Amino acid sequence: MLSIRAFLTALLIVLFCLAGQAHKILVEDSWPPFAFKKDNFPVGLSVDLVSEAFFQAGEPLELVQVPYPRCIALTANGKYPACFNSAYSAEMKEFLFPKEPLFKSRGLIVFNIQKKENHVHSLKDLEGKQVALPTGFPFGTAFDENKKILKVFTANDFNSLRMVHTQRISFAAVDEFVLYYYLKHHPEFRKTLRITLHLSEEPIFVHFAKNSEGKVLLRKFETGLIKLKKSARYKEILEKWVGKEGLNKVALKSPRQ
Same structural domain, 95 and 122 = no
Q: Are residues 116 and 74 in the same domain?
A: no
Does residue 178 belong to any structural domain of this protein? Answer: yes
As a whole number of angstroms, the distance between CA 165 and CA 151 comes to: 17
57 lies in some domain: yes
- Counted domains in the chain: 2
Q: To the nearest 10°, the Cα dihedral for 204, 206, 207, 211? A: -160
User: Which residue segment(s) compose the domain that 128 sits in?
Assistant: 105-201
Identify whether 134 is part of a domain: yes
Domain harbouring 116, CATH code: 3.40.190.10
Indicate if 33 and 91 belong to the same structural domain: yes
68 plus 191 within the same structural domain: no
Beta strands 171-175 and 103-112: pairing type?
A: antiparallel
Report CA-CA distances (Å) from 31 to 34, 58, 111, 256.
6, 27, 21, 27
In this structure, are 150 and 79 located in the same domain? no
Partners of residue 104 on adjacent β-strands = 203
Q: Print pLDDT tens along the chain (257 aa).
A: 445 655 555 555 455 444 447 889 999 999 999 999 999 899 999 999 999 999 999 988 899 999 999 999 999 999 999 999 998 888 899 999 999 999 999 999 999 998 867 778 999 999 999 999 998 788 988 999 999 999 999 989 999 999 999 999 999 999 999 999 999 999 999 999 999 999 988 899 999 999 999 999 999 999 999 999 999 999 999 999 998 888 888 854 433 32
In a shared domain, residues 139 and 213: no
Model pLDDT, residue 165: 97
* Residue 175 within a domain: yes
Instruction: Check whether residue 99 and residue 9 sit in a common domain.
Output: yes
Q: Are residues 76 and 188 in the same domain?
A: no
Helix segments in the chain, DSSP class H: 4-18, 45-56, 68-76, 123-126, 141-144, 157-165, 176-185, 187-190, 212-229, 232-249
Residues 109 and 98 in one domain: no
Q: Please give the pLDDT value at position 90.
A: 81
Determine contact, residues 205/102, Cβ cutoff 8 Å: yes
Q: Are residues 47 and 119 in the same domain?
A: no
User: Same structural domain for residues 172 and 232?
Assistant: no
Provide the 10 A C-beta neighbour count for residue 101. 20
